[in-house]
C-alpha cells in the first residue's frame, strides 16, 4: 500500500515557450502547404503523418521553402515531421 508521505513534489519556477524552428503555411491548409525552416536551407527528410504515426508522404533532401500537395488528404489533423541535421522537429497541420 502507498503512503502519501512517500511521494515528493517539485515546484516549477518558470515555463519558457520556445519559438518553433519550422513553420507551415497556410495552416489550416487546402490543397498546398509550404514548409519553412528558420535556420537551414535544406532538410534531411519531411514526413506528413497521421496522429497515430502512419507516414502518408515522405520526401528526402528537400530545399526550403518546400511546397507539398495535400489535396488528396482527408479533412483532419496531421503531423508534419522535419528532420534537419539529425534533429526531428514536428508541427501540427490541419487540412480543411
Q: How far is CA 16 from the centre of its chain?
A: 19
Q: In what order do the strands lie in the sheet with 32-37?
A: 22-25, 32-37, 66-69
Assess if residue 16 is contained within a domain.
no
Q: Per-residue pLDDT tens for 16-72?
A: 445 678 899 999 999 999 999 888 888 899 999 999 999 999 999 888 999 999 999
Q: Which three cell numbers stand for residue 90?
A: 514536428
How far apart are alpha carbons 89 and 64 in whole angstroms?
Answer: 14
- Domain membership flag for residue 13: no
Query: What is the residue range of 26's domain?
Result: 22-95
Grid cell in block for residue 27: 495552416
Question: What is the pLDDT averaged over residues 6-23?
Answer: 60
Number of structural domains, the chain? 1
Is the residue at 86 inside a domain? yes
The CATH number linked to 78 is 2.60.40.10
CB-based contacts of 31, cutoff 8 Å, min separation 6: 69, 70, 71
Amino acid at each position: 500500500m502507498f503512503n502519501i508521505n512517500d511521494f515528493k513534489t517539485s515546484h516549477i519556477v518558470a515555463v519558457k515557450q520556445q519559438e518553433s524552428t519550422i513553420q507551415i503555411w497556410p495552416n489550416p491548409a487546402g490543397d498546398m502547404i509550404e514548409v519553412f525552416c528558420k535556420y537551414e536551407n535544406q532538410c534531411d527528410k519531411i514526413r506528413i503523418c497521421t496522429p497515430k504515426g502512419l507516414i502518408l508522404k515522405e520526401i528526402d533532401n528537400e530545399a526550403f521553402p518546400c511546397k507539398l500537395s495535400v489535396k488528396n488528404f482527408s479533412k483532419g489533423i496531421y503531423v508534419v515531421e522535419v528532420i534537419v541535421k539529425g534533429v526531428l522537429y514536428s508541427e501540427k497541420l490541419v487540412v480543411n
